[in-house]
Amino acid sequence: MDKLKQKKMEKTLSCNSSRRRFLQGLLATGALATMPIGLLQPMLAEAKELFSDADYQIFRNACPRNCFDSCSLKTFVKDGVVEFVEGSPESTYTAGGLCVKGYSYPRRVYSPDRIKYPMVQVGRGSGNWKRVSWEEAIDRIAQKILKIKELDGNLLGLGLDKYSGNFGITHYGVEGMMSSLGYTTRFAGTPCWPAGIDAQNYDMGDMWTNDPEDMVKSKYIIVWGGNPAWCSVHSMKYIYEARRKGAKLVVIDPVLTQTAAKADLYIRPHTSTDGALALGMARHLIDKGMVDQEFVSKHAVGFDAFKKYLKEKVSVEWAAAETGVSAAMIRHLAEEFATADPATIWIGYGMQRHANGGSMVRAIDALVAMTGNIGKEGGGARYGHLRTWGFNYNAMVMSPPEGSKGIVGGGPAKGDFHFGGDEATTYSNRNFNMNQAARDILAQKESPLRMLWVACRNPMSQNQNTALMKKAYDSIEAVVVVDQFFTKTVEQADIVLPHTTLFEEYNVNVGYWHYWMALNEQAIKPMYEAKSDVQIAALLSARMNKLAPGSCTFPLETDTRVWMEKEFNQGIHDLFGIKSWKDLKKGPKKAKLASSASWHDRKFKTPSGKYEFFSSLAAEHGHAALPEYRPKRAATAPLRVITPHSKFSLHSQFQNLDYMADFNPEPFVYVHPTTAAAKGIADGQQVRVFNSLGEVRLKARLTGNVPTQVLVMYEQWFKDSNFLVQKIIDDTPADMGAYKTGAPGTAVHDQFADIEKA
Amino acid sequence: MNDTQDQQQLQALRDFFFAQNAAQLSDAYAALDEAVSIDLPKVDDWEAVEFAFNRLFVGPKALIAPPFASVYLEPEPQVMGKSTLISRQIFEMLGVQSPWQGTLPDDHLSLELDACIRLSAVRQAGDSPEVEDLWSYFLQAHLDQWLPSWINRVRSAEQLPPAIHTVTDILAAWLADEMRDLKSTEPSIGL
C-alpha cells in the first residue's frame, strides 16, 4: 500500500462521515449480506455515533488510596476511554495538581496486567489458573461458606482481612457482606497509625488535627518523622508559603528525606529516641520559664506532675546523650519553637511505628501543649482526623441472618475506621490482630480459620514475617482475594475476583488530613469483568439465598450509584453546605469549619475535659500516666532497619505500573558509606540483608542520606521480583493502639538485621 | 488453500484465541485440524494447555503475550490506546461493533481476526477498490505492525505447549501469505 493510499485511508478512518459513506457504499452493493456470523455484531441502531466529534466528557473522581492528600480528580473521557486526569482546581488543597501516582491512573486502568476475570487456581501457588464465570466463582464461594456453617454451627471459620487499599465509603460494604452472612472473624487493628491515635486520645480525648491549609499561618513548622515532599505533596505548598512569609521549617528524621532537604534546619536523632528529644526540649523550656501558663493552668491537667517528672528524670544533657543531638541544639530548637507564635509540629506516622512510638507522640503533644500551641490556628500537634467521616455506612451496617451464632461476650467492634454502633449484642465477631495475623491464625486449634476473604489489602507482601504468613495461609482451606493486580496475596489465592478501578464505579471520599469531600463518578464501563465490592456482595447474597434461603441479608442492589447515594445524610449535607450529593458534580466541597484549628474552643474530649499531661486512662491501660520516656527496643542484630514509604508507591500499589517501573525499576538497600566500607560493600553491589527471620537480596546504594548503622529499604511490591522487605521484618507491636483501634500498631521501623556481600 | 478453507482456518484461529476453557480450546483446535492440511500435534492434557494459555493471554498474572494490538503499537504499552480505536473504526466501516465495546479492548486478536473474516467475505462478494484498500490497510498498517511482535513473545515463552506453538505458527503463516499476496498486487513503491 503506497503512502498516499495509506494517508487517504487514515483520513477516512478518522472521519465520522467518511466512515459512514464507506459503509453506505457497502450496503448499496449488497456485499454485507454475505457477512458470516461471528464475534462482532451488527451495529446497534442507537450506537450509530460510535465516535463523538464533541470534546471530552469530564467526570469527577476521587483518589481512594490511603494517603494524606485524598485528591479530587477531573477525568477526561473520549469515546469511552479515560484519556487523562487532572487534579480538581476547585479544591484549594488538590489545587489542580496530582502526584506522580495520581497522574499514572490511566496506566492503572489500561495496564495489560490487570486481573480481568474471576479465576480459580488449581493448587495454591502453582500458577495454574482456570477462567471461570462469575456465577461459578460465586457458587464455589457460597458452597464453601455453607459447608463451614454446617461443620461448625457458626461462621467464625470465615475471616475477613480488609484495610486501606480503597477508602471509598461504599467499600465498607465488604465488612457489610461479612456481617450479612453472620458472625465471622475480623482482622482488627491497623498497621498504619494506631499508636499515635491512642496517644492523642490519652492527651486530648480524640485525634483531631488543624486544617493543613492553615500551615500558612505558622511561624515555625517542625515536620517530625514524616516526609510530605513524597507522601503529601499538596501540603508542601502551605509550608512553602509559610516560609515565604518568614516561617522556619525544621525536619527531624533519621533519614535526610526530600522534605529534610528543603528545610532550614535538619536534625537527625538516633532512631527511636524522638521522645527523649521532645522531653529534653520540654525540660529546657521549664528551666527557662518558657511555658504558656494560661494553657497549662486553665486548659490542662497534670502539668505539675509532668514538670516534676521532667525535673527529676530528664535533663538536656541526658537527652543529648540519648538522641545524639547536641545539648546546644536541643536548647536552641526548644527556644525557637517556644518563641514563635504560632508554632506547629506535624507528627509523621513513621515516627510512631516503633515499640515506643505512642509514648513519643505523647511527648511531642506535650511540647506543643505546654507552649500554648494547641487550639491555635497555624499551631497544633498535627496527626490526623476523622471529623468528616459521618456517613451512613449503609453498606457496612448489616444484620446477621436470624439464628447466627458468634463469640459470646466479645464486646463491640473496634477499629480506626469503625463507624458502627457500640451497642452490646449477645454474639459478636471474633477479632484477630491484623498486625499479628499469622500468629492468630495459627493459634486456633478448636475453631480454625477455614476460609479467608481478602479485599483492599495485600497481606502477603505487606504483613510482617512473610514466612510465618505463608505458613498461616497454608493452614487455611480456602482463600478468596479481590484485587486489580496479581499481587503476592493473589499468588496464594484459590479464587481471585477482578475489582473495578475508581473510574468504573460510583463512590464518595473524604480525607483524614484535609477537610474536603469529593464525589467519585463512574466515568467508563468496568473493563473486562471487573466488579465493585458491593456488587460482589450482592451476587454472593443472591447465590447464598438461592442455596439456603435466609442465609444472607445483603441487599441485591448492584448499582454503585445507589449505594453511593445512600451514604449521605443531613449531617454530611450541613457540614459541607450542600443540599444533595449532586452538588458535588460541580466539584469537591470543604467542610464548614468554625476555625481551622482543632480544639479551638479548648474543650477536650478527655475524662477531665482538659488537655491531660497526666492521663489516668493511659495508666489504666497499662501505660505511664505521664508522657514518660520509654526506652527504645533492644537490638536483635547489628544494624537497624527502617522501611519507609517510597515516592513511587503507596504501600504495594502503583509501583507495578510501567511509569513507576521506568523511574524505579528495582529495590535498593540504602547504606551509609562508613557502614558499607566496614563490610567491604561497594555502591551497586549485590548484597544480602539478613536476620533470624530470613533474608532479602538486592543491590546496595551508598548514601550519606541515611545514618551509619541504619539500613533503609522502602516497602514496595515489585511485580516481577521476589523482593519483599517483610521477609526480615518481625511483628513486634508498638506500645499503643489497642485502645481505639483494637490492636497495637506495628514497630516496623524498630527492626534489625545484618548485611553482607551476596 | 481455497477461500472456504481459508475462512474455516481463520474462524478456528479466532475461536482458539478467544477460548475461555480447555473444552473451547480443544473444540477450536479440532476445527483448525479440519481446516489445515498439516497434522496438528496430538494433545493429551488439555488442562495443561489451558493453564499455559491463561499464563500467555488471560491472567491473572501479568500476561506474557497480551493479545491486544495497542500494547504493541502504542509508544507506551497499554490497552485502549489510540490504535484500539482504529480497530473500532474499521469495524464500523463494516457495519459491525464489538458486543464488549468499552469492556474488552476492540483490538483483541480474535475480534480483529473476526473482522478479517468479514472483510474477506466482503471482498469475495464484489470487486471494490475501496474494500481492497481497507483490506490492505488493515493487514499492512495494522495487523502486520503488531502481530509479528506478539508472535515472537508467544514463541519465546518458556514451556510453551506444542499445540499453542503450532496454532501460533499457523497464524504467522497466514499473515505471511496474506502479506505476500498484497505485495504481489501492489506497485513496487511501497511503504
- Are B31 and B25 in contact by the 8 Å Cβ rule? The answer is no
Confidence of residue B6 (pLDDT cuts 50, 70, 90): confident
- B90–A contact, CB cutoff 8 A: yes
Q: How far apart are CA A590 and CA A92, in angstroms?
A: 9
Q: Shortest CB distance from A31 goes to which of B58, B62, B126?
A: B126
Q: Which residues of A touch B71 (CB under 8 A)?
A: 112
pLDDT at A379 over 80: yes
Q: What is the mean pLDDT of chain A?
A: 95
CB atoms under 10 Å from CB of A536, counted, come to 28
- Mean pLDDT value across residues A9-32: 89
SS3 A691: strand
CB contact under 8 A, A32 and B122: yes
Confidence of residue A420 (pLDDT cuts 50, 70, 90): low
pLDDT at A244 over 70: yes
Lowest model confidence (mean pLDDT) among A412-421, A460-469, A579-588: A412-421
* A156-195 pLDDT tens trace: 999 999 999 999 999 999 999 999 999 999 999 999 999 9
* B19-32 pLDDT tens trace: 999 999 999 999 99
| pLDDT for A368 | 98
| pLDDT for A52 | 64
- A49–B contact, CB cutoff 8 A: no
Lowest model confidence (mean pLDDT) among A46-60, A126-140, A290-304, A602-616: A46-60
Interface of A with B in 128-147 (CB under 8 A): 128-131
- Domains contained in chain A, CATH given: 3-47 (no CATH), 119-192+394-500+526-559 (3.40.50.740), 209-383 (3.40.228.10), 639-757 (2.40.40.20)
Which residues contact residue A328 at a Cβ distance below 8 angstroms, ignoring those fewer than 6 apart? none
CB contact under 8 A, A1 and B78: no
Q: Establish how many alpha carbons lie within 13 A of residue A172's alpha carbon, considering only the half-sphere containing its beta carbon.
A: 21
CB atoms under 10 Å from CB of A278, counted, come to 32
Which of A391, A447, A385, A439 is CA-nearest to residue A176?
A391
Q: How far apart are CA A691 and CA A203, in angstroms?
A: 37
For B139, the closest chain A residue by CA position comes to: A1
- A399–B contact, CB cutoff 8 A: no
* A658-707 pLDDT tens trace: 999 999 999 999 999 999 999 999 999 999 999 999 999 999 999 999 99
Q: Shortest CB distance from B97 goes to which of A12, A50, A525?
A: A50
Q: How far apart are CA A534 and CA A23, in angstroms?
A: 42
CB atoms under 10 Å from CB of A399, counted, come to 9
| pLDDT for B190 | 43
Pairing type for strands A220-224 and A300-301 reads: unpaired
| pLDDT for A47 | 54
Q: Shortest CB distance from A43 goes to which of B89, B95, B124?
A: B95
SS3 A376: coil
Q: At what angle do helices B129-136 and A16-29 cross, to 10 degrees?
A: 130
| pLDDT for A50 | 56
- Are A591 and A387 in contact by the 8 Å Cβ rule? The answer is yes
Q: Which residues of B touch A114 (CB under 8 A)?
A: 59
CB contact under 8 A, B104 and A528: yes
Single-letter code of the amino acid located at B139: L
> Which three cell numbers, joined as nine digits, stand for A331?
536548647
Confidence of residue A33 (pLDDT cuts 50, 70, 90): confident
Q: Residues, chain B, total?
A: 191
Reported in sequence order, the residue ranges of A173-306 that DSSP labels E, i.e. its strands, are: 185-188, 220-224, 248-252, 265-267, 300-301
CB contact under 8 A, B99 and A41: yes
- B10–A contact, CB cutoff 8 A: no
Q: Shortest CB distance from A39 goes to which of B14, B103, B126?
A: B14
For A719, the closest chain B residue by CA position comes to: B62
Interface of B with A in 142-181 (CB under 8 A): none
What stretch of H or E contains B103? none
Which of A239, A233, A258 is CA-nearest to residue A70?
A233
- A76–B contact, CB cutoff 8 A: no
- Mean pLDDT value across residues A721-735: 96
Confidence of residue B191 (pLDDT cuts 50, 70, 90): very low
Q: In what order do the strands lie in the sheet with A158-162?
A: A129-131, A119-121, A495-498, A478-483, A451-455, A158-162, A185-188, A430-433
- Mean pLDDT value across residues B71-78: 95
pLDDT at A422 over 80: no
Most B CBs within 10 Å: which of A39, A46, A485, A497, as the mutation test of the B interface?
A39
| pLDDT for A37 | 85
Confidence of residue A415 (pLDDT cuts 50, 70, 90): confident
CB contact under 8 A, A1 and B20: no
- Domains contained in chain B, CATH given: 3-185 (1.10.3480.10)
Pairing type for strands A427-428 and B96-97 reads: unpaired
Q: How far apart are CA A639 and CA A364, in angstroms?
A: 27
CB contact under 8 A, A119 and B7: no
Most B CBs within 10 Å: which of A110, A121, A525, A721, as the mutation test of the B interface?
A110
- Are A173 and A508 in contact by the 8 Å Cβ rule? The answer is no
* A35-88 pLDDT tens trace: 788 999 998 765 555 566 678 999 999 999 999 999 999 999 999 999 999 999
- B77–A contact, CB cutoff 8 A: yes
